[in-house]
Amino acid sequence: MARVLITGYCAVPGPRRAGVQVRHVIRALTPMHTVDLLVAREGDQPYVERQGAVRVLRVPSHDQDSWAQIQAFQRALKRQLDGADYDIVHCRDAWSGITVLESRPKLGYAMVLDLSRAPEPVGEGVAPSELEVRYARDVAVCLREADLVLVPTAAAAKHVQTLTKPERVALAPVGVDVDRFDWDVPPADGIPRVLYVGEISPGRGVRVLVRAMADVVKRTEAQLVLAGPIAPAFEQELKTGIQELKLEGKVLTTGVVDHDEVPALIASATVCVAPSGPDLSATPTAIAPTKILEYMACRRAVVAVRRQSITSIIEHGRDGLLFEANDPTDLGRKVHRLLVEASFRDRLAAAGYARVRSELTASAARRSIRVAYEALSRRFAEQFAASAVAPDESPRAPELLTDDEFEATVFEDLSPASAADTGGSSLGLDEALSSLDHDGTGSSPVVAPPSPLDETGERPLTRSARGDSGGWARPPRRKPSQQEIGAWAPSGLEERADSDDDGTPIEGVRVGMVSSETSFVAGEIDVPSPSPRSRLHDFPTSSVRAHDSESDTGKTPPHT
């Protein structure tokens, strides 16, 4: 049984891809290994907590420029590596991977690079920033040097095998929790809804979608629901565009939606859309937006952009419909057809539902991770045996939770021995510092359920201004004029992606490094470890907000 550190420049738990998919990695590994998790701290999340058998360490954050935040996270990771003894370090991104590689010669662990859960690539046609160029360079180094590279698709595997030793590449696709995301009875009456779930910002296809909706509502009654956080710089532009297209009351926004509430939101929809997706010609290791899997798992008909990454999971006319990129007319035509042709819509929804359950489940994703780790363990068998975990440190029963028992905001411990232990207290930064004993260990466990948050996903990087002024559309290879800024231009123009990257927290308060078996480094502080018996319960929050006068329909009754 090996000691594993899972790390990434993201917030966990959270509704976005990293926050959702990293938990599947955790669930795959905890039955076989002792697992720690080092990630970014978002909002009021505890600095240190125990979630089931997993110790979660979070790097504190403040407001600084993106590179300063990244460097602070890397320092925190280096300190954790120096202060603990790990056999395997599982890196979700190159920001953590490059730091792990720097310390590997001294510490001797195996390094895993997980491209299946990596940050989304820069949008097509967008000039990369200095930070993105640096990240791409670090990815190349990590690919060459990693002991194991997990890739999401066969196309990605073929590409990565040309960059490293082929035997180090393993296929580990992402999947959807089909117990959590299942179909529900759609509303019996009311206005048909077209649903988009995700970030509402430049480069996400929102402009194309809203322009398409202007055509749809001229032909049939419908509403567009935009569910997700709105980028502050994009909010006014969105309102202006809705007014220009006379879509007041036809376009609704919900704000941030807790991941637990997404299945009910999808159940209220008639058609679901994914207006953007990465192009494999630019990024061979990219994957389709995971929202598509959730749509299909909830048995809803999907209209998505025609990209290579998406055609791998949607066959046009069978599992869903595909529209030409940046073409609102084509998108509007496909959405309208699904709204008015109920039998065709139901046939596509049923086919997508069946495909997800046969090929794209979270349980299948976890099995692929375990298979890859078994191969890695055989290569490092002698090293892992020398540092085997003592019996009393072995993971306990909670790793065997089923999908419907596992909550997105907690890794529940359902073992009988700890079922009655539901207490816990929150420890903030100042309290964490003051609670340290003179020998560097805390006198009580740190167990704090996160307070209800508006947003627990990845923090977007702050990009430097370059090129695009934020207009709704622009001709390729040309900077938009001042008159074009904010204009709702016609179709056929590229959009820029300003929010594809992952943000990070930055350094906290510096204190002296204290070596202790029960002390863990979270950012720039030492805080006491939680008791092995401690556990965190799920406190679901309601973050769906209605826009204008329209309210969300909520959950529909289960099908009987």
- Residue 457 — very low, low, confident or very high, per pLDDT cuts 50/70/90? very low
User: Residue 423 pLDDT more than 80?
Assistant: no
Coil/strand/helix, residue 520: strand
Q: What is the pLDDT of residue 387?
A: 65
Q: What angle do CA 218, 226, 500 make, to 5 degrees?
A: 125
Residue 58's beta-bridge partner residues?
Answer: 39
Q: What is the pTM of this model?
A: 0.69
Coil/strand/helix, residue 114: strand
Coil/strand/helix, residue 218: helix
Q: Which of 22-31, 104-113, 382-391 has the lowest mean pLDDT?
A: 382-391
Measure CA 389 to chain center: 30
Determine the Cα–Cα distance for residues 200 and 253; give it in Å rounded to an integer.
10
Average pLDDT, the chain: 76
- Residue 152 — very low, low, confident or very high, per pLDDT cuts 50/70/90? very high
Where b means 16+ CB within 10 Å and e means fewer, 413-448 reads bebeebeeeeebebbebeebeeebeeebbbeebbbb
The arithmetic mean of pLDDT across residues 227-248, rounded, is 94
Q: What is the pLDDT of residue 362?
A: 94
The arithmetic mean of pLDDT across residues 404-427, rounded, is 36
Fold match, 3-175+362-454+503-528 / 193-359: yes
Residue 381 or residue 557, greater confidence: 381
Give the residue among 68, 61, 202 at the shortest CA–CA distance from 499: 202
Q: What is the pLDDT of residue 117?
A: 86
The phi and psi torsions of 9 (rounded to 5 degrees) equal: -85, 65
- Residue 15 — very low, low, confident or very high, per pLDDT cuts 50/70/90? low
Give the residue among 511, 526, 523 at the shortest CA–CA distance from 442: 526
Determine the Cα–Cα distance for residues 71 and 204; give it in Å rounded to an integer.
28
Coil/strand/helix, residue 308: helix
Cβ pair 241, 172 in contact under 8 A: no
Determine the Cα–Cα distance for residues 115 and 112; give it in Å rounded to an integer.
10
The arithmetic mean of pLDDT across residues 163-167, rounded, is 94
User: Residue 278 pLDDT more than 80?
Assistant: yes
Q: Which of 76-85, 198-207, 365-374, 450-459 has the lowest mean pLDDT?
A: 450-459
Which residues in 395-471 belong to E strands, given as ranges? none
Residue 316's beta-bridge partner residues?
Answer: 320
Q: What is the pLDDT of residue 128?
A: 59
Radius of gyration (Cα) for the chain, nearest Å?
23
- Residue 42 — very low, low, confident or very high, per pLDDT cuts 50/70/90? confident
Share of the chain above pLDDT 70, in %: 66
User: Residue 363 pLDDT more than 60?
Assistant: yes
Q: Which of 247-256, 325-334, 451-460, 531-540 has the lowest mean pLDDT?
A: 531-540
**Cis, bond preceding 13 (omega within 30 deg of 0):** yes
Q: What is the pLDDT of residue 540?
A: 36
The arithmetic mean of pLDDT across residues 109-127, rounded, is 74
Q: What is the pLDDT of residue 132?
A: 81
User: Residue 523 pLDDT more than 50?
Assistant: no
Which class in CATH covers the domain with range 193-359? alpha beta
Q: What is the pLDDT of residue 272?
A: 98
The arithmetic mean of pLDDT across residues 379-403, rounded, is 57
Cβ pair 215, 328 in contact under 8 A: yes
Cβ pair 184, 555 in contact under 8 A: yes
**Cis, bond preceding 480 (omega within 30 deg of 0):** no
User: Residue 467 pLDDT more than 50?
Assistant: no
Strand-strand pairing, 271-274 and 251-255: unpaired
Cβ pair 113, 158 in contact under 8 A: no
Q: What angle do CA 382, 383, 385 make, to 5 degrees?
A: 65
User: Residue 401 pLDDT more than 80?
Assistant: no
Q: What angle do CA 302, 286, 378 make, to 5 degrees?
A: 120
The arithmetic mean of pLDDT across residues 265-278, rounded, is 95
Q: What is the pLDDT of residue 280?
A: 78
User: Residue 297 pLDDT more than 80?
Assistant: yes
Q: What is the pLDDT of residue 505?
A: 37
The arithmetic mean of pLDDT across residues 167-194, rounded, is 90
Question: Looking at domain 3-175+362-454+503-528, does it have CATH number 3.40.50.2000?
Answer: yes
User: Residue 473 pLDDT more than 50?
Assistant: no
Domain boundaries, given as residue ranges, for the chain:
3-175+362-454+503-528, 193-359
Q: What is the pLDDT of residue 381?
A: 84
Q: What is the pLDDT of residue 284?
A: 85
Cβ pair 43, 443 in contact under 8 A: no
Share of the chain above pLDDT 90, in %: 50
Q: How many CB atoms lie within 10 A of CB 97?
A: 29
Q: What is the pLDDT of residue 544?
A: 37
Cβ pair 21, 115 in contact under 8 A: no
Give the residue among 322, 324, 312 at the shortest CA–CA distance from 355: 312
Give the residue among 269, 272, 245 at the shortest CA–CA distance from 185: 269
Q: What is the pLDDT of residue 338?
A: 98
Q: What is the pLDDT of residue 162?
A: 94
Cβ neighbors of 347 (< 8 A, separation 6 or more) are none
